[in-house]
């Protein structure tokens, strides 16, 4: 099963993002500060990676209202990671297929990469495939494939992990929790 969404042009200004780190569990939450405003189910959609990683989408009134990294996949660190240049401002609606959303689990490949400062993090959902980028909040982008399925998530301007050394210091340690290993090899297709 893939996570299908309906993409609509953004009617209003895009919501701000409130990032929160849980220092005890290494969970990163990106909450979209929006009014809801749509009709539809509420609950969570869990993307479970084949390596045991978990990425959760909070769905409120049919819209994606947040993203949570509950269990990190291996994060590949890149010198530079730039989000897509061509981006459409949009709303992402999660179709209510009669289940009311409540809790849906999708199992697939989940991969992650970040820039060296770990302020830009990209998660790939499923196999690598062509996708377009849509901005659903000021600092959250979705990669959406031709079949309107989520192919990736971009978290932009992520604050450093609490207590991590200054990310601008060249000698600093990575900001993401050290329990999340990195590897220099390219992501598998």
Reading the chain (189 residues) residue by residue, the pLDDT tens digits are 477 788 888 877 899 999 999 999 999 999 998 755 666 677 888 899 989 999 999 988 888 899 999 899 999 999 999 999 999 999 888 876 665 555 677 889 999 999 999 999 999 999 999 999 999 999 999 999 999 999 999 999 999 998 876 544 533 444 454 334 433 333 344
pTM of the model: 0.83
Q: What is the extent of the structural domain holding 25? A: 6-155
Residues 181, 179: Cα–Cα separation, whole Å: 6
CB atoms within 10 A of CB 147: 9
So what's the pLDDT on residue 188? 40
So what's the pLDDT on residue 167? 46
Residues 127, 24: Cα–Cα separation, whole Å: 31
Residue 76 lies in a domain: yes
Number of domains composing the chain:
1
Residue 114 lies in a domain: yes
CB atoms within 10 A of CB 20: 13
Token pair in block for residue 1: 């099963």
Residue 179 lies in a domain: no
Residue 15 lies in a domain: yes
How many degrees, rounded to 5, is the angle at CA 55 between CA 114 and CA 46? 160
Whether the Cβ atoms of residue 44 and residue 66 lie closer than 8 Å to each other: no
Whether the Cβ atoms of residue 148 and residue 129 lie closer than 8 Å to each other: no
Nearest to 159 by CA among 2, 18, 39: 18
Instruction: Quick: pLDDT tens for 130-163.
Output: 999 999 999 999 999 999 999 999 999 999 998 8
So what's the pLDDT on residue 140? 96
Residues 169, 171: Cα–Cα separation, whole Å: 5
Residue 58 lies in a domain: yes
Say which residue the tokens 């302020």 belong to: 119
So what's the pLDDT on residue 119? 96
């Amino acid at each position: 099963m893939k996570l299908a969404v309906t993409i609509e042009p953004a009617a209003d200004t895009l919501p701000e993002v409130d990032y929160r780190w849980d220092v005890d569990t290494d969970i990163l939450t990106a909450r979209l500060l929006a009014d809801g405003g749509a009709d539809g189910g509420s609950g969570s959609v869990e993307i479970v990676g084949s390596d045991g990683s978990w990425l959760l989408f909070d769905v409120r009134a049919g819209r994606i209202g947040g993203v949570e990294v509950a269990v990190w996949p291996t994060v590949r660190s890149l010198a530079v990671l730039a989000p897509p240049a061509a981006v459409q401002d949009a709303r992402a609606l999660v179709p209510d297929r009669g289940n009311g959303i409540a809790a849906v689990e999708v199992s697939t490949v989940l991969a992650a990469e970040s820039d060296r400062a770990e302020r830009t993090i990209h998660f790939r959902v499923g196999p690598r495939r062509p996708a377009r980028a849509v901005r659903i909040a000021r600092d959250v982008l979705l990669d959406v494939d031709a079949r309107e399925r989520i192919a990736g998530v971009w978290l932009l301007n992520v604050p450093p992990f609490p207590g991590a050394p200054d990310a601008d210091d060249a000698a600093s340690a990575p900001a993401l929790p050290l329990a999340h290993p990195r590897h220099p090899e390219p992501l598998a297709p």
